[in-house]
Structure 1
């Protein structure tokens, strides 16, 4: 199984952003409001992949006038759906060996929950979470308190795609601080005994390469519900492209050192072309504005070739007409 086999399983490549937007937004979409799970709760209990989790969030930050955004302060509805789907052994990224016990994953704009990292960390090599610095205190709390070795059982849970709120909270994400270690260490080791690392990253001012100062790259880059206004589109697309280019640079470095595995020829004859070894970029989002979506896809298609995850491969709550969508990109 390969990147090529993954892309073939997704069906036709998206050629026209306007047509894709029309196809998605011309069908009835259920109202999700803004998309919060519960913007007034300070904690939310839920179950993902058979694990009971409590996610702490901050309604106070969400409702503040903080510059640079506050949306990362609370849990959004799409995140538990994506976490449950990606943790399933039948998801296409696992069945096509993008997610393996040695895989390295990066999440951009993670917000406070760390939910996708918590769901995937038992089955991959390492997971790096990034967001603005204001997110990191609660993000660290949610990671450390929900690690299997430190967690206690929760008395109230829900199914794997929804949460039950306690108290008050909400907030979302943006992007911000330097690609350096977060408070509590230089980030060379994971939180607690885990393989999860936290980093600050401002899409507009920081270099993604700074996340891996010693070199290296990622097998997959994930961004979940980071696109909700025009101002964020270009910085996010640039961050995605820069993160994926780390793999290209690593391959060039290995080749110049005589370690050229040359596995790229495999896909050339089949129409998809040279995609082997490329980083896979996974973009999940709620359907809100067709104009913002089309603007994002137009920008994303500049550096990336793009596919949409079809209904037969999508997880519960992520199929057409349910208000959410997942796209996959690889660099051209």
Structure 2
């Protein structure tokens, strides 16, 4: 099963989410309207809205309510991408110019802020305080994760625990609350909401680990950027950390890390990591989280959406781009 097959089954609802996203970011301010829509037209997996909608079926499903939650979470994700591109000085995303490259850093930062604010406007339509508390807490933790990533740039002494804490806050949390808020907005019972969160958290962890693997193993065409881009920017992920300490070429890699000519050796470093045992170790770690996600799923009611969530977890574990 491919994600595109799941999207096809949900095509009508996803198209409505796209319309909701477009409505949310449309503004009379010319440049802001252009920059926000530039990002929207670049597309994306829209996996967070999918999680919201599927999770809503475990309660009292109401698409008109759920589409607001789904759009809000996707807007938050989009806002973080605009800000990330400024921090990373990235010119391309998904093979297209970033907002920062098309305009400049100032326009990009305010575009991200604007999209973020529009997300919060959508959520104000809900009275349930737990929805607001969950979202607010996640945003705080996400910001902490971004700061930790900046702090750990070029830090080859970081531990596995540091890496896992960082990706939890950077990626897994937003996926986890996509599942949780889908349940909360549908008035699902507390136990179900908790299981949805556990599923989303573990799938989110696996999603980011696989992303970090693909950064080394994917092609420029697949990634929309050169292989090893994270490492080149100083973001050291689990495949590289494992290679540094346990690969057959660990001593060579350790010498490179301590060298004053790190950037000149980057192509060779990326190649060492790509061919190292770090890739297989990272795949096994991702699979561990996938199994935990499936365990949480098995404690949910046996409806067809549970099967779809299971299919998504398998797609995430096996994806190649």
Structure that is richer in helix per residue = 2
Normalising by structure 1, we get a TM-score of: 0.28
Between Structure 1 and Structure 2, whose CA radius of gyration is higher? 2
- By relative contact order (CA 8 Å, sep 6+), the higher-ranking structure is 1
Normalising by structure 2, we get a TM-score of: 0.29
